[in-house]
Each structure stands twice: as C-alpha cells, then as structure tokens.
Amino acid sequence: MKKLYIILSLFIGLNVAQSYCQTYSFMYDAILRDYIVHLPTGYNAINKYPLVINMHGYTSTASQQQTYSQMNVVADTGKFIVVYPDGVNNAWNAGFGTNPTIDDVGFLSAMIDTIKKNFSVDSTKIFSCGLSNGGFMSFRLACELQNKIAAIAPVSGLMSDSTRLFCQNNCPVPLMYFHGTADAVVNYNGALGYVSVDSTIKIWVGKDGCPQTPVITNLPDINSTDGCTVTKYVYSPGQNSSEVIFFKIVNGGHTWPGAFPVASLGNTNQDIKASGEIWNFFRKHSLQCGLNSVDDNSQTNDISFYPNPAENFLHITSNTQLLRKVSMLNILGEEICSREINAGQEIMNISFLPCGIYILKIKTENKISILKFVKK
C-alpha cells in the first residue's frame, strides 16, 4: 500500500446550504496531486451521496473540465458529489503513450478512498466519466477498478489497445458513450494505439452480456443550427441489469454535447446535454463487483510476487500450480522478455529496466494471470 500524505480538512458533520467547491491535494508517488470537490446544494453528512469522477482531456485541466461540462448544475439538482481530478502535466496514463510512468489508476483509487473518508459517499455508487483522454481513462478504470467503479460514461474517448488487451473486469460495468463521426482528434474508426467506436461498443456489449442487436432511435433535431444530429443505440438488458447506450453524434466533432461550442473542435451538438444524460444513466446503476480495495494488485488467489514497487528483483510464487512461463511487458503490451520455467517459484532480474509501470504475464498449467508492478 502506498503512503498518502493528505492535505485537507475533515468535513465530518458538514452541512452545506449552497453548493460548495474546494481544491484538495495529497502526495502520491512523490507527486503532489490535486482535485476539485463539488458538494451539491443541501449536502448533509448524515446522508450518503453518489460520487462522479469527471476527468479532463489531454492538455486541459480539472478547472476547465468543470467549466466546460457544466456538471455542477446537474450535481446540485441530482444531489451527487462530483470530483474533477488533475492529471500530471495535463494528461492521463490511459495506456497509449501519455504519462507512461504515472500510476493514475493508483492515484484515482487513493483519491476515492480519501474522499470517502472525508465526505459522505455511497460506495455502491461511484462513477467515472471524462472527455477525450479522460474518456480513455474511464475505460481503464472500469477494467482495473471494477470493485469501485459502478458505471462509466466516456465522451470522445476510446479504449486503448493496452486497456483492451489487459482488461480483466469479470462482472458487468454499464457503459454510456458519446462520439462524433467527424471527430478530428480521436478518429471514429480508430487509429494507431486505440480501437474504433464500433469495436469498443462490441467489446463492451460482450463484457456486459447485452443483446448484440440494439434498439436504434433518431433523436429530434431540436437545434438545426448546430450542424449535427444524434442517433441513440440501446443494448439492453444485460447481465445483472447492465446496459450499453451509445449516442452517435452524426457530423459531431471532438466535443461535449450540450457544452458551449469551440469552433476548432468541430460541431457541438445541442440536441442533448451530455452531463444530464450521464447522470440519468448513472443514477440507475450500482456496483456489481464488491467493495474491496485494489490499490495493491501484487497478488491473485493463485499468484503472488514481491516487492512492489521493486528495484532489482521480483520474487514470483505460484500458490496452486507450477509456473510454466513468465513474460514481462511494457504498458503498451509489448513484450520485453520472457522465460520458460517449470517450478513453483521464480526470481526475475529487473535491474535493467527504466523506472515505470510494467506488466507480468504469468502462465501456469491451465491459467494465464496478468499483474502490474512498478520499477522504482
């Protein structure tokens, strides 16, 4: 477990007559990390509130995402807490090149734990959404924090190849998704490092056990001057009442529907408001995967290893079966080295690796385990 040095005030018993925003910080992996907390009007600590994580895009900030998405207004009406975290150097490590050595999954998990300690949060209703790079990161959280994140709603962000390859969620995580067909930043048809919209939807429909054929509705073109229209795809019901809902913004750009237009990013749809749609979706769903912490993923029921973080050597042990093969990969899923073995334990030399986050792919007699470690 990583040490957290928290800089904040305790709000046990806090009542808020008006909506409230405050920036908080703590040290994580020797980096001071910031996030903005918005409490809804009428917040009372005796009640439990849903928590929505809303992440900014690449080169943007938490404050800009707060202003752009206009989610605070929805939070005041819907009575939920919304948090806007800041990525290191205005980016998130979503598995395809941005901040590859930053443990953002660990930071966001620690942030959730910190907020739960200091505010009144319903642990079964913690959700993630975000724009662009923040949307990519929401997919990653659904894969790696499945026991904390109840549902996700990415906007103009897809699944990176790394997230797709190493996604281990084994229970439904409902998905609402928005993407413009004319998005010039994150291509609708995919590109090097990330899959297409159609592939993303297909993957998530399969994971959530939803019907393969959607109910399709062309939404009313309420604003005929915004240059785009909306087609809604609903894949429902899925396993454990999960669902996948996709808003296809026909001729839409790299934008947040309902937000103020930014000409350089393409058409911004005004027929729907993403923040309102997201909350109406989130409020229907609750956590399916339990409430255990996953800050430290250095073991499974079958495999354990130590230390993590590690500097020179990793000690790997199979608790039930013989180890057959151990491979080491970078965060993009590219193999660095591998070793065929036939034993219950193995020691791997990692002293030659640069500092960063890496992946162990461990094959036993009838199972493959994917684990993450940090080289310090």
Residue 16's pLDDT is 56
289 is a domain residue: no
Answer yes or no: is pLDDT of 6 > 50.
Answer: no
Indicate the pLDDT class of residue 219, thresholds 50, 70 and 90. Answer: very high
For residue 269, what pLDDT is reported? 98
| pLDDT for the residue numbered 301 | 52
Whether residue 211 is found in the same domain as residue 337: no
pLDDT score recorded for residue 291: 45
Q: Are residues 308 and 258 in the same domain?
A: no
| pLDDT band at 375; cut points 50, 70, 90 | confident
Q: Report the percentage of the chain scoring pLDDT > 70.
A: 90
Domain extent for 369: 303-375
| 257 domain-assigned | yes
Of 226, 250, 282, the residue at which a domain comes to its end is: 282
Kindly report the CATH number assigned to the domain that includes residue 278: 3.40.50.1820
Q: Over the stretch 230-258, which tens digit does the pLDDT of each residue have?
A: 999 999 998 888 999 999 999 999 999 99
The number of beta carbons lying within 10 Å of the beta carbon of residue 77 is 12
Give the pLDDT score at 4: 40
Q: Verify that 195 and 48 share a domain, yes or no.
A: yes
pTM score? 0.75
14 pLDDT band, cuts 50/70/90, is low
Strand order in the sheet with 323-329: 335-343, 323-329, 356-364, 368-375
Q: Residue 8 — pLDDT band, cuts 50, 70, 90?
A: very low
28: confidence class by pLDDT, cuts 50, 70, 90: very high
Contact 109, 45 (CB under 8 A): no
Q: Are residues 272 and 338 in the same domain?
A: no
User: In this structure, are 18 and 94 located in the same domain?
Assistant: yes
Beta bridge partners of residue 29, listed in sequence order: none
Query: Is 220 in the same domain as 76?
Result: yes
Give a yes or no: residue 293 inside a domain. Answer: no
Contact 221, 229 (CB under 8 A): yes
Give mean pLDDT, residues 183-211.
94
Check residues 94 and 295 and name the one with the higher pLDDT: 94
Rounded CA gap, 63 and 232, in Å? 30
Residue 186: inside a domain = yes
Grade residue 218 by pLDDT with cuts at 50, 70 and 90: very high
Q: What is the pLDDT of residue 15?
A: 56
In a domain, 291, yes or no: no
Distances (CA, A) of 297 to 85, 141, 293, 305, 347: 22, 14, 9, 10, 18
Same domain membership, residue 315 and residue 249: no
**CATH code, domain with 310:** 2.60.40.3080
Instruction: Give CA–CA dist 153/174, Å, rounded.
Output: 9
Average pLDDT, the chain: 87
User: What does the alpha-carbon distance between residue 363 and residue 369 come to, in Å, rounded to a whole number?
Assistant: 6
More confident residue, 258 or 166: 258
Residue 320 and residue 261 share a domain: no
pLDDT by residue (tens digit) across 16-27? 555 578 999 999
The reply to whether 16 falls in a domain is: yes
* Residue 233 covered by a domain: yes
Give 289 or 13, the one with higher predicted confidence.
289
Report yes or no on 276 lying in a domain.
yes
Domain count, the chain: 2
pLDDT band at 9 (very low <50, low <70, confident <90, very high): very low
Q: Where does the pLDDT of residue 107 fall: very low under 50, low under 70, confident under 90, or very high at 90 and above? A: very high
294-353 pLDDT, tens digit each: 334 444 457 888 788 888 888 888 877 788 888 888 766 678 888 888 888 888 888 888
